[in-house]
Amino acid sequence: MPKQSLKHSNLRVFDHPVIQDKLTRIRNKETNPATFRRLLNEIAGLMFFQMSRGYQAVDIPVETPVEQSTGKQLAHPITLVPILRAGVGMTDGVMGMVPEARVGHIGLYRDEETKKPVPYYCKLPKDIAEGHVLLIDPMLATGGSASYAANMLCEEHGCSNIQMMCLVASPEGVTKMNQDHPSVVIYTASLDRCLNENGYILPGLGDAGDRIFGTV
């Protein structure tokens, strides 16, 4: 189970040894893109397994090979919303657990001078507000992109049941999300130390998008 952060009420941190082992290998600058992608998706699947413990299920009839019985089915649809482009790197890991999940996309990039998010794409299911929404971005740095995406989901699409999954987070990003969207619980493998002067997480792991897609 993830641990509740003592400093941030909206943060849950996975300290599971298997997740931490994989995170350490991801941080290594020598890890190649193929290994980076594999480890990232493995962590995403492990995290989602625990994040989904609170999802509601309903009883449904099921015919086994020997008799009629009753089973469980998720009561609400699940929509994954990766923030492009790096968020795509964790999506397959979650879909390995729930292949029936829908996938929407929000495209944002960070202006390197202002550090503010700039939108360029958004495609979401029309009924996205009717179920669970998992906002995905490997890096929660300044929190600008995550907050902007959450605004889109809440204000423009009426979503109220939102979780966020990230690989590593900065205290600054977690604080901003708590200020802007206190109902959104953030799940991460690590709360890192701080941001540097360029808005990158320390110790971090570099640019997640570049390392996922080999564009370093």
Give the active site residues. 110, 114, 207, 210
**CA torsion, points 4, 52, 151, 95, in degrees to nearest 10?**
130
Residue 69 phi/psi, 5° resolution? -145, -175
Kindly provide the residue ranges of all beta strands, DSSP E only, lying in the chain, ordered along the sequence. Answer: 3-4, 11-13, 57-63, 68-74, 78-84, 102-103, 105-110, 117-123, 132-136, 139-140, 162-169, 185-191, 194-195, 201-202
Question: How far is the CA of 11 from the CAs of 7, 70, 98, in angstroms?
Answer: 8, 36, 23
